[in-house]
Structure 1
Amino acid sequence: MTDTIRNPILPGFNPDPSICRVGEEYYIASSTFEWYPGVQIHRSRDLANWQLATRPLARATQLDMRGNPDSCGIWAPCLTHADGLFWLIYTDMKRYEGNFKDGHNYLVTAPSIEGPWSDPVYLNASGFDPSLFHDEDGRKWLVNLKWDYRQQEGGDRFGGILLQEYDVERKRLVGPIHNVFTGTWMKLTEGPHLYCRDGWYHLLVAEGGTGYDHAVTMARAREITGPYAVHPDNPVLTTRNNAENPLQRAGHADLVDTPDGETFMVHLCSRPLPGTRRSPLGRETAIQRAVWGEDGWLRLAHGGNTPALEVSMPGVAQRAPAGEEVYEFKPGTLPADFQWLRTPYPERLFSLSERPGFLRLYGRESVGAWFEQALVARRQDSWICSADTELEFEPDEIQQFAGLIAYYNRFKFHYLAVTLNDSGDKVLSVMSCHDEWPSGRLDFAASGAVVLAPDQPVRLGLDIREHELQFRFAQGDADWRSVGPVLDAGLLSDEGSGRAHGYFTGNFLGMAAHDISGRATSADFAEFCYRRHIH
């Protein structure tokens, strides 16, 4: 037994955690943004070792994100359990840039975590980060922030936390809307959760924005509608003044009690690459032990308000992830680690049955498209990792390309693609986009430099060593050869070039096919292998 948990407990892109316990099992729901299916839910029996349980928003009646911009889609889900049901609240964000936010809040329920999950109930659109609170008297309340579009650049458009009752029988919000908390000096008040303890209503919120000033604030009141008094030692959790802590951007939290009455806080964080403020793994989920003081306020058990990298958990052994994951493509469903982008109609993007033993991608719109992009990928969850695949693809012209991609969004990717050159040769092309927003300029690092043998598969690989990404390839019995220059892996992050904090996801590694001629030329991938460095 190691008796400690090392953070993060959900490495790689797993932000905005919401946690609940049912009996001896714990569940964490996290944001998935534009990646489909929506909402990622992990389960655990010991708070240390987590397995993916489900992604519940998996059909068009629940979620259709075609046309959603980058980093829109599923924001900050809230998972609770009451009355024999799981209750999942989520936002489908349709626009977030500029003064306006168009986010629609919904509720789905299920008798078990595996489902079946209901069709959604529409709640409101007044602001994002909705959360459902089940009060001790049986009433249910929705809290979400209010978006104030009137504020100019640099102003605080986060207009307070709204509270309204939810009527289960009528399946709608009812009664007056209360603005119960307008935040503290840190501003940008979001991510609300309510708890009832010892006659107090405790309100937990995130403040300071999801960048390096992020924080967790708590306040409490005797009545659910307030007034709420702020924690005397606020903020409860932050790294805004501790640049040396390996868990940066700490904030957006939720609480859970164990069967023995201990309290734990899960929160988002990021781990920047050494010497930088770039986090290609995205915002991850960490856990902290918490205690309730004699004054009735919650504090971190280890003291202070900065997150601990290691957390005491007597009698628990935290298992290391596998050093290698080899994914074979069998008829049925994709391996659980993989997702695609936006659409609830994956049959237009890929097939596992058209050629058994292969993942067949149908080339659709261009790389970075917001409607139909044939890209199937998994999260990068280690600074040092490798990926490779074997591709069979015979393009007819330059508008058809397929291959191995490291993808953050439409303006941040590195892509080793098989295509044609002007002479009709099948070639490798290294395409790289550095977030030159709004132009999205594409660099061709080695276009046409490597001619491939026709009618033969090609092995494509990449190696990431913290800041650096290097592509490689091989054909036939030949050894691997590097192709293209060493690329900047740190660009594939929230804080990469362009808009400093305009994105909210993480880097994915996977397979892609694009056919901007509109003929849906197919590409077949035999397998996908992911290797991670185990610290």
Structure 2
Amino acid sequence: MIYQNPIVRGFYPDPSVCYANSKYYLVCSSMQYFPAVPLFESEDLLNWTQIGHCLTRTEQIALKNVNSSGGVFAPTIRFHDGRFYMTTTNSTTNQNFIVWTDNIYGEWSDPIFIDQNGIDPSLYFENEKSYFMSNGSDAEGISGIVQCEIDIATGEKRSPSKTVWQGSGGRYLEGPHLYKIKDYYYLLAAEGGTEYGHMVTYARSTSPYGPFEAYPNNPVLTNRNLGGFQIQGVGHGDLIEAPDGSYWLVHLGFRQTGQWTTFHHLGREVFLSPVEFHDNGWFTAGIDGTTPEYVNVPYAKEVQRFQNEYTFLNTDFEKEWCYLRHPLIENYTLCKNQITLNGSSNSLDDVASPTFIGLRQKEFCCRINCDIEIDHGEAGITLYMDENHHYDLALLKVPEGYQIIERICIGNIKSIEAQYSLGNSSRATLVIESNSQEYRFFVNSENQNILLGTGLTRYLSSEVAGGFTGVIIGLYAFDQDSTNTAKFTNFKCEYLHE
């Protein structure tokens, strides 16, 4: 059966996957958003359902005043001896830690910190030993993939941290994972930086301590030389065995906005590429070492499912929705047919936690509409990349009544591009339409959509904004006096085909 990449769409970077109890589980980075580390479940590696997050309590992860693209980096999920473990980095505090759970649908433990530097931590279990690795440098100052043995219950190191591999020569060696498959230990990694030069590389050894011999034809998977190809930035993967015994790489990549427009704003997404082991013990990946949009999955029994419509009624506020950093939860009243937000003095431009709740944008082409009512202050829909790059369509109380504004924030350029008077009406229907190249902003008046203006998608892209996130479709409220109330109803985000 033919499947389409990406298999998890929108800002879900740095995927890691494990198998337990006849199902697959996947986690991704979440950066400055909370709850942290989205958690998915699948029966076939292809159709994924979000079942929660690993970090749901403020005491598990420090996110106060974390800059955009700081916070939670590159988690790894593993299952060992009946227990799930997730390890990740808080890149802002420079701490690696582990949490665990015996119930994948329940709460995870408080963090267990590991005294090893670097980012992108991973775990490997064998013969009552627990191995911990990250990228970084060892006690002798040698940089690369660093490994030690730990007490998995306490995080205490049982061996010194030692660099076991320095990669194949690409910059930014990261994302290590260790596996034992037949006669070899395979050390998988990413190199080249998580942009257009990204790639998957690996090495092998007969011992978990090395020495590791690099695959002669590294990189084993990359799209770095595919000019004019939509899928770019392929790298940072995790190796997994499918239900039929075949092997696959679950990895990140991104979709640029057009064949020759090298911008991406949906974030890094989750892709699937086939792996083939050969008689000499080496493996190859992808189609001639690249990740295609369409991939043949011989074991697949179910058709690929994409959700094309998101509303308050068919989403779970504790799963698909997210906040910026740690929210002041009393400012949010979340019901199945209405969200009520109490505005704070923290704006979308602040490195703080404004009153904001959002969904990841999953496709280029979409139509977003929502009814909004305020008493005073400001409330609206934001297309949010970070505190310095967002487009806002908002309902605003002004001395002469109410008005709709279209605002752009691009770096240090902050401009109200259009205004539309509502007179004394404190309620409005806001509409945003998008394709791969632009957003269009409307207010619905007398059943007609009145165009206020447009904004190019490229100015919300990683190439312009920098960082490692993607656009979040956010609902927000703001009031300098922290006293306004905004009601959001009839929200719908519908994905279309370009």
Q: What TM-score do you get using the length of structure 1 for normalisation? A: 0.88
In the alignment, which residue of structure 1 is the partner of 2:423? 453
Report the identity percentage.
Answer: 28
The alpha-carbon deviation at position 259 of structure 1 amounts to 4.2
CA contact (8 A) 1:329 1:526 kept: no
CA contact (8 A) 1:32 1:74 kept: yes
Q: Say which SS state the counterpart of residue 458 (structure 2) adopts.
A: helix
SS of the aligned residue for 2:216 comes to: coil
Cα 1:43–1:429, aligned 2, differ >3 Å: closer, same or farther?
A: same
Q: Tell me the amino acid that sits aligned with residue 129 of structure 2.
A: R
2:248 is aligned to 264
Name 1:431's counterpart in structure 2.
407
Q: 2:475 aligns with which of 511, 522, 532?
A: 511
Task: Tell me the residue number matched to 2:301.
Answer: 316
Specify which of 378, 384, 388 is matched with residue 369 of structure 2: 388
Q: Which residue of 2 aligns with 1:138?
A: 128
Partner of 1:494: 462
Contact 1:321 1:534 (8 Å CA) reproduced: no
Q: Does 1:480 align with 2:449?
A: yes
Structure 2 residue aligned with 1:411, among 388, 391, 412? 388
How many residues align? The count is 493
Q: Is the 8 A contact 2:312 2:338 kept in 1?
A: no
Aligned partner (choices 313, 321, 326) of residue 338 of structure 1 = 321
C-alpha deviation, 1:132, in angstroms: 0.7
For residues 91-117 of structure 1, the C-alpha deviation after alignment (integer angstroms, 9 at most, x for no partner) is 1121xxxxxxx4211111111221231
1:522 is aligned to: 485
Structure 2 Cα separation of the partners of residues 37 and 48 of structure 1: 24
Q: Secondary structure at the match of 2:41?
A: strand
Aligned equivalent of 2:441: 471
Shift of 1:158: 9.9
Separation in 1 of the partners of 2:18 and 2:341? 37
Q: 2:333 is matched with which residue? A: 351
Measured after TM superposition, the shift of residue 301 of structure 1 is 5.9
Counterpart amino acid of residue 26 in structure 1: Y
Mapped to 2, the partners of 1:388 and 1:361 lie a distance apart of 17
TM-aligned CA distance change 1:236 to 1:158, over 3 Å: farther
CA distance in 1, matches of 2:202, 2:272: 17
Q: Cα RMSD between the aligned structures?
A: 2.1
Question: 1:355-402: per-residue Cα shift (whole Å, max 9, x none)?
Answer: x8421112120113222211111111111111111111121xxxx321
User: Bigger shift: 175-184 or 449-458?
Assistant: 449-458
| CA contact 2:116–2:161 (8 Å) conserved in 1 | no
Are the structure 2 counterparts of residues 158 and 290 from structure 1 closer, same or farther at C-alpha, using a change threshold of 3 Å? farther
**Counterpart-to-counterpart distance in 2, 1:163 and 1:232:** 23
In 1, Cα distance between equivalents of 2:262 and 2:237: 22
Q: Which amino acid aligns with 2:415?
A: D
**Cα separation, 2, equivalents of 1:170 and 1:301:** 39
Task: State the partner residue of 1:171.
Answer: 155
- Three-state SS of the structure 2 residue aligned to 1:491 is helix
Q: Matches of 1:158 and 1:259 in 2, distance apart? A: 40
Q: Secondary structure at the match of 1:173?
A: coil
- The answer on whether the counterparts of 1:142 and 1:163 sit within 8 Å (CA) in structure 2 is yes
Match of 1:127 in 2: 118
Does residue 367 (structure 1) correspond to residue 358 (structure 2)? The answer is no
The verdict on how the C-alpha distance between 1:47 and 1:259 changes in structure 2, with shifts beyond 3 A counting, is closer
Partner of 1:237: 221
1 CA distance for matches of 2:13 and 2:142? 20
Whole-angstrom distance in 2 between the partners of 1:235 and 1:319 = 29
The DSSP-based 3-state class of the residue aligned with 2:265 is coil
How many Å separate the matches in 2 of 1:493 and 1:124?
35
Q: 1:401 and 2:378 equivalent? A: yes
How does 1:23-422 map onto structure 2 within 5 Å? 23-94=21-92, 102-124=93-115, 126-135=117-126, 137-146=127-136, 159-274=143-258, 275-300=260-285, 302=287, 304-314=288-298, 315-328=300-313, 334=317, 336-343=319-326, 345-352=327-334, 357-364=337-344, 365-395=346-376, 400-421=377-398
Could you say if the C-alpha distance between residues 169 and 347 of structure 1 is closer, same or farther in structure 2, counting changes exceeding 3 Å? closer
Contact 2:312 2:337 (8 Å CA) reproduced: no
Query: Is 1:249–1:268's contact at 8 Å kept on the other side of the alignment?
Result: yes
**Residues 139 and 165 in structure 1, CA contact (< 8 A), matched pair in contact too:** yes
Amino acid at match of 1:462: I
Tell me the distance in 2 between the aligned counterparts of 1:175 and 1:125: 11
Higher mean C-alpha displacement, 465-474 vs 334-343: 334-343
In structure 2, relative to structure 1, the CA distance for the partners of 1:301 and 1:505 (3 Å cut) is closer
Against the structure 1 CA distance between its residues 318 and 73, is the aligned structure 2 distance closer, same or farther, given a 3 Å change threshold?
Answer: farther
CA distance in 1, matches of 2:195, 2:244: 35
Structure 2 residue runs of 5 or longer lacking an equivalent are: none
Give SS of 1:452's match. strand
